[in-house]
Amino acid sequence: RNSQRTVREHLESIKNQSYKNIEIIVVDNNSLDNTTKIAREFTDKIYNFGPERSAQRNFGASKAKGIYFLVPDSDMILGKNVVKECVSLMLNNPKIKEIVIPEKSTGTGFWAKCKILERSYYLGVDWIEASRFFDRKTFEDIGGYDEENTGTEDYDLPQRIVKKYGKESVDRIKEFIIHDEGEISLGRQLR
């Protein structure tokens, strides 16, 4: 929603993946800016759906045709080999149901620097790093994102998968996602 500041770079990072068999689906939530106009430059699969992220993610997954899902946010820039590494891991080990893509934050101002420092401590911490790449069958079997959960949905779904399939169901890649935090204000963070 209202992601015109980041959506172009985000979608370019998807389009420029070294793995080319990608379907781009954008699920917006009544943006008032140019988010959907920019997204149309990359895909005609743009939907308006809400009310919140969990419902939007499940809706996008229901529209996808692939056997794997990557679920990034519009303020994330994917490293060039993110999808290639994820697909390779899943193809080579059928026990893997979800993949953690490590994140680095970027942004401007004091509070963004705090966020960058905070996220640097998450690397390799299983319970706080969230998986973003999923096997479709597992995603559907587990019921996708809990639509009553907004805020910790990134952690809830991966933890439910591990609970059902065991720790061997999750792995990680080396390539990073850059999370563009922008200019963070303390008031917005507290809200």
Note the pLDDT tens digit of each residue in 66-108. Answer: 999 999 999 999 999 999 999 999 999 999 999 999 999 999 9
pTM value?
A: 0.92
Q: Is 37 left (phi over 0), alpha (psi -120 to 50) or beta?
A: alpha
Rounded CA separation 130/124 (Å) = 11
pLDDT at 127 over 80: no
Share of the chain above pLDDT 90, in %: 82
For the chain, the residue count is 191
Residue 35 structure tokens: 């988010």
- Mapped onto helix, strand or coil, the DSSP state of residue 114 is helix
Residue 151 has a pLDDT of 84
